[in-house]
Amino acid sequence: MPFITQGKINVKYLAIVLIVAVLAGAGILLYQQDLDKKSAEIFNQGQQKVLAGNQKIEGGTGVEEKAIYNNKEYGFSINYPKNWTISENFATGTIVRVENYFVNESGDKDGAYFNVDIIKNTSDNVQEWINKNNPIAEEGETLQEVKNLNIDGEVGIYRIKTSDVAGGYFNDLTVKHNDNIYYITTKVRVLSTYEKENKEYQEAVDNIISSFKFNN
């Protein structure tokens, strides 16, 4: 069907061409709209995944809420996990203890503690006091490592020890401030298969030590 016949425009042919062009345009428009809709859905799904990844996860271990213990009489403070138990003024001379235990699959108690004892008005330096009062026992414990530890500007001696009887780590930290010896003992013992708990308890104890501050 020729577009021009005998010098005249073929109206019927032109109408068909226009109709085909309109239909094609409409099809392209619908296709583009559908493509845009799918692209938006994919983008929104991606955004939802990003938001989900940034949301705070409730109920996990996460960062434990902290509590502050401040002893004005002896001039020190610590931060400790709020869900740990705290006790003061033991008959043995311990000033404060924070601890947390759970019952493992064998029915035994696993967990950790952090103790602070204070020996007032001593002329001994840290190493002299340790040699006189807390040498490593010949039996029952094994010294794994000794290192200096900075405790709020004072240099303390930190000993990592394992118990040959009870198992676990029974470490101690000795530091002197204003003629007083601060003797800190810690225990981390997780004899069960919960290696994750063992690591978490050790980290909790290490964080308490790192938070130790002198207030006088």
133-160: string of b/e by CB count within 10 Å (b at 16+)?
Answer: eeeeeeeebeeeeeeebebeeeebbbbe
Look at residue 20 and tell me if it is in a domain.
yes
Share of the chain above pLDDT 90, in %: 50
Q: Are residues 107 and 50 in the same domain?
A: no
Determine the pLDDT at residue 110. Answer: 87
Number of compact structural domains in the chain:
2
More confident residue, 193 or 125: 125
Look at residue 60 and tell me if it is in a domain.
no
Q: Are residues 79 and 134 in the same domain?
A: yes
- Residue 24: pLDDT band with limits 50, 70, 90: low
Q: Are residues 188 and 110 in the same domain?
A: yes
Question: If we measure between CA atoms, which residue out of 199, 154, 144, 206 comes closest to residue 175?
Answer: 154
Look at residue 61 and tell me if it is in a domain.
no
- Residue 89: DSSP 8-state: -
Q: Are residues 89 and 132 in the same domain?
A: yes
Q: Are residues 136 and 161 in the same domain?
A: yes
Q: Are residues 24 and 74 in the same domain?
A: no
| Contact present, 145 and 205 (Cβ < 8 Å) | no
Instruction: Report d(CA 52, CA 54) in Å as an integer.
Output: 5
Q: Please check the confidence at residue 86 and state whether its pLDDT lies above 50.
A: yes
Q: Are residues 38 and 99 in the same domain?
A: no
Largest CA distance in the chain: 126
What mean pLDDT do residues 175-199 have?
85
Query: Across all residues in the chain, what is the average pLDDT?
Result: 79
More confident residue, 28 or 83: 83
Q: Are residues 44 and 146 in the same domain?
A: no
| Contact present, 131 and 120 (Cβ < 8 Å) | no
Domain of 86, CATH number, reads 3.40.1000.10
Counting every residue written for the chain, the total comes to 216
Q: Are residues 13 and 83 in the same domain?
A: no
Q: Are residues 71 and 50 in the same domain?
A: no
Instruction: Report d(CA 35, CA 48) in Å as an integer.
Output: 20
Tens digits of per-residue pLDDT, 115-156?
999 999 999 999 999 999 999 988 889 999 999 999 999 999
Domain that holds residue 15: 4-54
- Residue 25: DSSP 8-state: H
Q: Please check the confidence at residue 51 and state whether its pLDDT lies above 70.
A: no
Q: Are residues 127 and 161 in the same domain?
A: yes
Q: Are residues 45 and 84 in the same domain?
A: no
- Residue 184: DSSP 8-state: E
